Structure 1
Amino acid sequence: MDCSESRLCCLQVEVCQSSNSTARSSAVEDRVRLFLQDSNKTIFGDVLLTEFPDDFLARHVQSVSICDTDLTLSGGASGSSSSRSTVCLAQAQLDIHVFQLHQDEDGPAAETIDDQEEEISAAGHWLLPSTEFQGLWENLIYDVNVKEKLLQYATTTLLFSDHNVDCNVVSWNRVILLHGPPGTGKTSLCKALAQKLCIRFSKRYTYGQLVEINSHGLFSKWFSESGKLVQKMFDKIQELIDDPDALVCVLIDEVESLTMARKAAMSGSEPSDSIRVVNALLTQIDRIKRHSNVIILTTSNMTGAIDLAFVDRADIKQYIGLPTPPAIYRIYQSCLAELMRTGIIAPPQQLLGMRDLEVLKFVENDATRHSLKLFELSKRSEGLSGRTLRKLPFLAHVNSMSNQAVSLDVFMEALSMTITRQFEERSDMQRTSADS
């Protein structure tokens, strides 16, 4: 296709600079821009480049990712349009973000605080962007434009801070609450968002910090000490925030552990120490929200148990539900593509995207047979969590009872049996629970 026929738009380009590279990020950005705009290529959908004819890029760049094109090319929410659109790299506006990954071979560092001369593991601590979270964002699949909404929220937060909007007039608290059933990827989405923000704002912040608070660890065995522990934890976080070159993301998983409704506590059904914890947390959130380089990410499986004052402080309260069949299809498709890439399923077979199936009106032929079979399996899988769905291809290979590469047809038969068995096991567990 000629470039003049494709659409003009702004593309997000994420450049992962090699860990051993000492080149200036501005130099890398300039060479990537030149490489992409001189290529005279058109793209449809996200593109990942890992090989470069340019010697400079080959030495200094690990990968170039052109991303978020679902939103850019459709002009709306991800998956909202089945029409095909292309974009010419030579004509597009390129928003390039260059970053280097921090190596986390030993996992997160531990943040400890003193409790009555005893050290408590209060949080995990990562430097961002981290190798541990690389690719996580791209592999989280939802039916609605959750990821785009969260990115836009963070951008607006930064914009308002840059323009010195008076938060006493226009209020925002830098708090996100993701809620929904277990296994839907809420915690993973928080970590992936923290990573993505550090990449997208790499020109503004030199590095990022992710602090995952251990909610259960902050309840002291000493009466009335838990509120003080919360304050000590946020004192440590304040030290990180005081560095203007750092973007600090605070993750509180299962936030109901720290923000149990005070109404229950005052009625006597919860210990009074939980009131002190809620009060301490709300006070600390109000204290740090004046800083432009912090965002608080929280998750909950039990929103009804959370104190209303905390819920009210959340700028975004996003429900993360179980995936629908189209989302399940995309999850299975990504899993099977990985198994084909590694040779576990062979020979490789093409699986069409949901948009392609919609355009072809789900008519079965040689080109659509495997894809339609996978969509039928996706419909049968409705009601399973994303965590379970990504485990099923592994269990399917166990059920295939083969140590050799298997064909896609054989693998999908094994996957079909695994889905049936998954619902049978769930039914058995529910029956056992009811009997007990």
Structure 2
Amino acid sequence: MANVLHIEILQRLDSVLSKQEILNCVQNTINTGRITPGQCIQTFEDPVCRENIESIIVSEVSEEDTKNLDMNKIDVQYHVYRLDVDGPQTETMGPDSGDGDEIPASTHWILPSYDLHGLWESLVYDFSVKQNLLDFVETTLLFSDHGVNTNFISWNRVVLLHGPPGTGKTSLCRALAQKLSIRLGHRYSHGELIEVNSHSLFSKWFSESGKLVMKMFMEIRELLENPRALVFVLIDEVESLTHARQSSLMGTEPSDSIRVVNALLTQIDQLRRFPNAIILTTSNITDAIDLAFVDRADIKQYIGPPSLFAIYKIYHSCISELQRTGIVDNKDSVMSLRLLQLSSFDENDRTQLSLQLLEVARQSIGLSGRTLRKIPFLAHAYFLHTTQVSLEKFIDAMKRTVTKNVTDCESFKRSESK
């Protein structure tokens, strides 16, 4: 919310202090009046904080909220958490008949996870996209806590992110689950993310797929029986489930495909009674999604290619990371987008490199978020052969890499069309 600032405190794994002791330490040593939204604090003067805290992340706020932000009046909420370091576990499943090998039906994460740490902050969209998703879950909890009768007001706890490939839909789902597991740590002991392998589950055995769907969701409901667990079910490329039913109706696929999708929709409906269940789905091909599923989605959010300013923010974060690691020297720096806007984009010695990066961002319009994150790596691989490089040379290498990427893509398309 606009009047809330979240401060997320990552406790070291070897720390023996309680959450309350960590919180007291932070509140005694950090002046909230001097905290900057979006800031990541990794160095501490206080020895207790230094020995027990890995980092502190301050939530972002929109640019409009930043202008009117009064840190002395804002509601500051603290969240102390540790990361699970075991990584994702593969859950296998096979037909009841016992014939054939088991398949990787899903991937199971315990949240917050080390593998997903910082993912939310690395994803750059219009501010409202991420905030709307957080607000959606907050409202589902509010309505559930107050016992709102679902016969009068309906919600399914289903999110559908759709758009072209490479725009970060799956990453955003994972990051949302991670972020909510942190923000709701006062309410739930941990989060669990079940990432369904839809391609394997729904295509291995047509005669058994409907039963496999029910079997998998029975296991998910067992997790949901623990009220202290916040459970996320991620179905990536959900159109792969519903396209089969459309084909079946046209007589081109076995009728069992219809039973598979019907079973999935039934199981989703049954999860409505669990206030600790959130279903996250993605799709690259919206035309192929079954309308019965679309109707169940509370939020249908389009995730498109990054805008010019989003691209600049992505490149800015990449350069900051390379300067942190020493690959790009930090004698010079690029300005944040907000500072560049405040300068009215006037060119001078202070803004010159930032404007050059903005021009690289302009040339990158149309590239997917996945491709944009590769540009700094490819820039070094193609054009730089030193362990450390100046910022000016690195930005020039990025510009050359973007030009090469565009040329290579055009050549690929021409060869594909022949």
Q: TM-score range by the shorter chain?
A: over 0.9
Whole-Å separation in 2 of the counterparts to 1:27 and 1:402: 48
- Work out the CA distance in 1 between the residues paired with 2:76 and 2:326: 35
Question: Take 1:401 and 1:17, find their aligned partners in 2: how far apart are those partners?
Answer: 38
Q: 2:64 aligned with 1:74, yes or no?
A: yes
Q: CA deviation at 1:373?
A: 0.6
DSSP-derived class of the 2:253 partner:
coil
Distance 1:385 1:290, change over 3 A: same
2:242 counterpart SS class: coil
Report the counterpart of residue 141 of structure 1 in structure 2: 124
1:13 and 2:27 matched: no
> What aligned pairs does 1:8-157 form with structure 2 within 5 A after superposition?
9-36=3-30, 39=31, 41-68=33-60, 70-71=61-62, 74-75=64-65, 84=67, 87-88=70-71, 92-104=74-86, 107-115=87-95, 116-117=97-98, 118-157=101-140
Report SS of the residue matched to 1:355: helix
Q: Deviations over 1:243-275 (max 9, x none)?
A: 111000111111111122634321123332221
Maintained 8 Å contact 1:113/1:120 = yes
TM-score, normalisation: structure 1: 0.91
Runs of at least 4 residues off by over 4 Å: 83-87
Alignment root-mean-square deviation, CA = 1.8
1:211-270 deviation line (CA, Å, top 9, x unaligned): 100001112544421111111111111111111110001111111111226343211233
Which residue identity does 1:202 align to in structure 2? Answer: G
Q: Is the 8 A contact 1:186 1:299 kept in 2?
A: yes
The Cα shift of 1:405 comes to 1.4
Alignment deviations for residues 380-417 of structure 1 (CA, whole Å, 9 cap, x no partner): 10000000001011111112241231212211221111
**C-alpha deviations, 1:104-124, integer Å up to 9, x for none?**
3xx311112221314221000
Q: TM-score, normalised by structure 2?
A: 0.94
Partner of 2:251: 268
What is aligned with 1:258?
241
Post-superposition CA distance 1:67-92 (Å, at most 9, x none): 12x23x733xxxxxxx755644x664
Structure 2: 5+ residue stretches without partners: none
TM-superposed CA distance for 1:64, in Å, is: 1.7
Gaps of at least 5 residues in structure 1 are 1-7, 76-82
Distance across 1 between alignment mates of 2:263 and 2:116:
31
Q: Which has the higher helix share?
A: 2
Write the distance in 2 (CA, Å) between the matches of 1:167 and 1:339.
50
Confirm or deny that 1:280 pairs with 2:263: yes
- 1:376 Cα deviation after fit: 0.7
Distance 1:40 1:401, change over 3 A: closer
* Secondary structure, aligned partner of 1:258: helix
Q: Against the structure 1 CA distance between its residues 92 and 31, is the aligned structure 2 distance closer, same or farther, given a 3 Å change threshold?
A: farther
For residues 305-324 of structure 1, the aligned pairs below 5 Å read 305-324=288-307
Aligned to 1:217: 200
Identity of aligned residues (%): 50
